[in-house]
Amino acid sequence: MTLLLREVVQALDALYPPDTAMSWDRVGLVAGDLDQPVSRIHFAVDPTVEVVQEAIAAGADLLVTHHPLLLRGIHSVATTFAKGAAVTRAVVADLALYCAHTNADVADPGVSDALAAACGLVEVEPLGLDEGRPLGRLGRLDPPVSLRQFASALAAALPATAGGIRVAGDADATVCRVAVLGGAGDDRFADVRRVGADVYVTADLRHHPALEAREEARVSGEGRPFLVDAGHWASESLWLPVAAAALRARLGEAGTTVETWVSTLRTDPWDFTLGAHEAPDDGGAR
């Protein structure tokens, strides 16, 4: 039985409904003929030229990415531009492209659920709401551990990157209540404080929001929430095998099968770091 792209899109739309994406987002099918056959699907965080080439080389008919390729308006798809090169190579190779971004963030299970699982959280619930949709997750550690132990276990669960993870807080402090948000999350500190999290795990923590959050924590006398910047690509890449399994199961319910493959490419933009400061053995209280 030949599986068509329209059937795969229907399954993906059911798992990650496009109308649950944030109002500014651009999700769904970007390129492809709904009547083209699909036998192999590639999953990746970013639709870079290298990822498109990897999918083509692997014989994929569809590339599913978390991040959109055409989030903002462009005026050319010439191969002299990176986005044009990605689109052209995909179209020439009959590689369809589908994106599930903030609709995958708010899905249950979604991106933050995968991060919560990597953190070892139990009793997981939504962290807060954005445009009326549940965003992020809150859970607890059983048993509680030190911040150093928690961060070390998370670092081992995440794919390796040049920057690793960054931690702000007393390394020896005991933590239990953990808030997570895959990808950029330094605009959710109000939610994190509201739920009384000991630790907030997210990515792309900018200097001023992070510094202000730490200052507020010190003024409160609690020193919490401690912060863990797990890296944007790393924190979201955990969702890929979950999404692939969910899609196979969804298609299996309809009596169809498909081969899936998760990209092996690291699209984190950083290649190396210098002068990194390791946490001191005395706990590094801040």
| Both structure tokens of 18 | 């496009």
At the fourth CATH level, the homologous superfamily of domain 108-230 is: NIF3 (NGG1p interacting factor 3)-like (3.40.1390.30)
Quick: pLDDT tens for 191-227.
999 999 999 999 999 999 999 999 999 998 779 999 9
| Both structure tokens of 128 | 């807060």
Quick: pLDDT tens for 82-109.
999 999 999 999 999 999 999 999 999 9
Q: Are 83 and 77 in contact (CB under 8 A)?
A: yes
Q: Which residues pair with 259 in a beta bridge?
A: 40
CATH number of 5-104+236-261: 3.40.1390.30
Q: How confident is the model at residue 282 (pLDDT cuts 50, 70, 90)?
A: low
pTM of structure: 0.94
Q: Are 268 and 233 in contact (CB under 8 A)?
A: yes
Domain with CATH 3.40.1390.30 in the chain: 5-104+236-261, 108-230
Q: How far apart are CA 264 and CA 275, in angstroms?
A: 28
